[in-house]
Structure 1
Amino acid sequence: MDANTLTGLVKELNTANTDGKTEEVVRILKKLKTEVEPSEDLLRSSKAGVAIGKLRSSSTSSISSLAKEIVKSWRDVIEENKKKRKRDDGDSGSSKKEESGAKRVKAEGSSTAASPSAPSPIPSTSVSTPDLKNESTSKKSPSADSPRQPLSTIDPSRTTPRTAKSDGVDKSLRADSSDGAADPVRDKCVVMIYDALAGDSTAQNKILTERAVGIEKYAHKALNYSTGNDYRGKIRSLYLNLKDKGNPALRNEIVLGYISTEKVANMSKDEMASESVRALNEKIASDNLFKAKAVGETQAETDAFKCGRCQQRKCTYYQMQTRSADEPMTTFVTCTNCGNRWKFS
């Protein structure tokens, strides 16, 4: 069933429910249960999840039980689709990580060989003679295969957070002034970013300084070289997300250089969020498909108003601030019997 057809059925369902046509409501619900293949986009665009979610509290048992069954089955399908996408993304992501990890290992090996301090290679003549003693010694020492283990700069056992002050660099930390004059506000922001990255890190002061200065530089650039409220809000958001104890993977990837400082400065709070926060946001979004109210004014049913046309007291109303804040709200009333509408303040 496409979105337009489903939207039409939802409108019919709402109308039948408003008119108290129980049999019609049950018929439409059964049709939705058997013919709809739910997806987040489909339910959001048609507002079907919201409409049926409201019917779970219906006073008619046949309607409420059927609505509960539909909501449960739709939620299960959506959750299963999410898990499937995660598995697919995980499989493709793991292969990419293995490939990039191999490249990093190769790069590290080549840089070590090119280093002036690296020991000279063993002559080929000495390799031809097996030496059991040297072989056993080499097995005990760190092997060339050690980079295959996950690289981490995070020390989870650390109880006292590292800071720029404890590292003795708080006085010397300065923002990159190549794009303008020195600014004490920017210098303090660099210290904040350093503290966020250094809390449980084992990285050298030099690396942490480079990352903090780089992140602040690109954040300053992204906000048109201003240190106003937008800039300070961005730095505060970066600080809180980078410092989050549940987000060590992000700090580790930044310190190791897997994520560039420019990308970090332009990441949104959702992109920086930890896995637990993302999972919570997904759960909330899924629940809102059935719990959130439809787009538009929130209306309540009441018998406090009498329709001037049909003299009935079956009305819905909502209130809206149409004038200045010190004026009372305007009440909009609709008669559910004849459709007459009026307003008053």
Structure 2
Amino acid sequence: MDDVVNINKRLTKFLVGEDNDQNGVADAMDRLQKVDMTINILKDTKIGQTIAKLRKHEAELVASKAKDLLKKWKALASRPSDSDIKVDTDAKSEPGIPKPRVSPTTSETSVKETPKRASLPVFNRGGPAFEFIPKGLQEVRATVRRKLKEILDLADEELRGESEIIAVSIEVAMAKEYKMDSARNTNEGKKEYTNKYRQLSFNLKKNAVLRQELLLHTISGDQLIKMTPDELATEERKKEMDQLRDDAFQRARLDWAEANADKINKVCGIKDPRGLFTCGRCKSTNTSNTQQQTRSADEPMTVFVICHDCGKRWKC
């Protein structure tokens, strides 16, 4: 995993323009082809997000290798898990037909070599176990599945292969969370179910990275419905919200003027920071003052002074 982390750092530098060595990046991606990749490594290192961004790179060599990696990893995510492979050792054999013997060594080896996939419901697209809109499904649930598939289909063509399965896994997780599949379902549960769909729909349409993580099985449906608004938002939106929080914090500070005195002086074109008052403690003139009405309206305002060198405060 350490090698994958180092390669991810190298590719990230290439994405932001700190590294322009296309051949070096191509070699790094060739090394990724040789890595025995698993779902857990993809999830922990976030390498899938980086490669997904590189598939649209202007350098054809880099973009081509990125697409090859995505196809390979997508096939990895589509493999059945160990729990999907069952050997019925108790089944009775027909008369005259000997029961096939299973080699313990071969069985153990095959189990060890089968990678574990993300915690998503397993559906067999070709068999009867998977049906996108099964008969008898509530109309609201069927509509949600169709809408989620439409949103997931906004991703690039090479990632759309499992949009139906992912849409079903998300909807099933929502239905379980709000008891839509229970006879005891209430109007309150339906309302919460609908509100959750609106939240996911809004964010998935805007967040291409989140769509990619779902289609690459980095995030499961159960994980998605428990994500906070901050986690669902795009990187740009997260930065905006962080800035809004910081602005609100700054406005609430009582010492904002003192902490930003240099910025205020620079904006106002004040080059000499000397104030009208001299500090009685350190004799500095680097002071500032404010006035507040602390007495009756017909009395003069009280002047509050602070020394920016030693921190002494007084009023006069």
Instruction: Answer yes or no: same fold by TM over 0.5.
Output: no
Q: Which has the higher contact order (CA 8 A, sep 6+)?
A: 1
- Name the TM-score, length of structure 2 as normaliser: 0.39
- Name the TM-score, length of structure 1 as normaliser: 0.36
